[in-house]
Chain A
Amino acid sequence: MQLPKREDTQDINDLLSKLVERSKAITALLISREGVCISKAGNIETLNSTALAALVAGMFAATREVANIVGEEQFSILLQQGEKRHIHISLIGQRNMMIVVFEDYRRIGLIRHEARSISHDLVRILEQRKLSRKEDSGDISVPEFREYALNLIDRIFVVGEEEDASSGSD
C-alpha cells in the first residue's frame, strides 16, 4: 500500500509529536544518515536543527567506526548526558536516525520505551517513501529544474571581476 504524501508527513510528525508529548521531551527529530533533517516535533524554535542533523549524523557514523573496531557492526543507540539536557539517538532502519532532546534524566527509561515503540512505524513509512519516491517526485521536470537551478547558481554564487587568480599576486 502506498500512503499519500500529505498523510505520510502527517504520520511522521504525529509519531514524533506523540513521543514528545508522552515522554515530556523537548524535541524529537528524524534525520537521514547524510545529515538532512526530515521531520521535527516539539519545541523546534530554539534549536538549529540543520546543524544538529549534520553533527549527529557525523557523530553516529563515527560511532559506527568505533563499533567496528570493537567487533560490533554498529551501536543502535547513543546517549549523551549533559548537566541539564540530554540527547537520545537511535537508529531507524539502516538510513535514518531519531534524535530526542530531553531534560529530566529520570525519564530516560520512558524516552527509550517511546522511541522504541514508534521506530517500527517510522521504518515502515520511510520504506514506503523510498519506494514511491520516483513517482511522488513526478511533479519535477528535470530539464526545467536544471535550467532554473543553473540560473540560481549564476545569480547567487556571484563571481566578481577581481576573482581571477590565475596571475597570482604579481
Chain B
Amino acid sequence: MPHLDPTEKQIVFKIVYFGPGMSGKTTNLLFIHKALTDKYKGEMLVLDTEKERTLFFDFFPVSLGTVQGYSLKFHLYTIPGQIFYEASRRIILEGADGVVFVADSSPDRLNDNTEMFRLMVENLRDIGIDPSRFPLVLQYNKRDCNPRLEIGEIERELDLYEIPVTESVATEGRGVMKTLQVVSKEIIKRFQIS
C-alpha cells in the first residue's frame, strides 16, 4: 500500500530491486539515476562495502510531478543480495508496492536466482503480501553474457506463470528504463484507495 497522505498531498510508492548478489541491482539504480534529469530525482544513497557489495540498501527518490493535486513519487530501493543479509532484506521489503527481481543470465547462476526468488516469496508472505497478486517483474539482466539462460528457464524452475519479463544489460543501460516502466505501470494499474 502506498504512502497516501491527503494532508501533505503526496503519494509515495516504494519499488524494491531484489535478486542474488552481484546480479546488477545497484547498476540498475545507478543507470536510472544518471538517465533522469535533475528535476525528477533526489540524491542517491549507496550503502556498500569496500568490495562494492550493497551492505544495507541503495536508495533514491523520483518525483514525477503533480497528479490531481498530489505529488506523485517513487522511492527506489535495492536489497543486499548476499544470502546472509536476510534481516535487511525483510526490512527493506516492508511497505513495498512493487518488486523488480534482477536475475543474472549466466547459466551457472540459475540456482542462485531461483533460491533468491524463493526467499523473496517467503519474505513477502512474512510481511503479509500475496506474491501472486503483487506487482512483480522478472528482469533477465546481463543478456550480453555467453552462454546465457534462455528466457523462460527461471519461470519453469519456479513454476511461475504470467509474470512480466524484461531483458537488460544494466551496465549499458539497455532494458533498464523499460523495466522501471513495466513495474511502475503494474503498480499504478493496481492503485486503489483503502
Contacts and interface: CB of A to CB of B under 8 A. Distances in A.
Interface of A: 5, 8-9, 32-36, 38-39, 48, 50-51, 54-55, 58, 61-62, 65, 129, 133-134, 136-137, 139-142, 144-146, 148-150, 152-154, 156-160, 162-169
Which of A33, A133, A141, A153 has the most chain B CB within a 10 Å cutoff?
A: A153
Interface string B61-76: 1101101111010010
Interface residues of B, number: 61
A58 B7 contact: no
Contacts, number: 148
Given A34-B14, A159-B178, A166-B143, A137 B6 contact: yes
Interface stretch (B84-92, B107-115, B116-124, B130-138): B84-92
Main secondary structure of the interface of B (DSSP, over half): mixed
Given A62-B87, A157-B184, A168-B144, A163 B173 contact: yes
Contact of A153 (B3, B5, B91, B181): B181
Contact of B177 (A51, A65, A159): A159
Contacts of B70: 140, 145
A35 B75 contact: yes
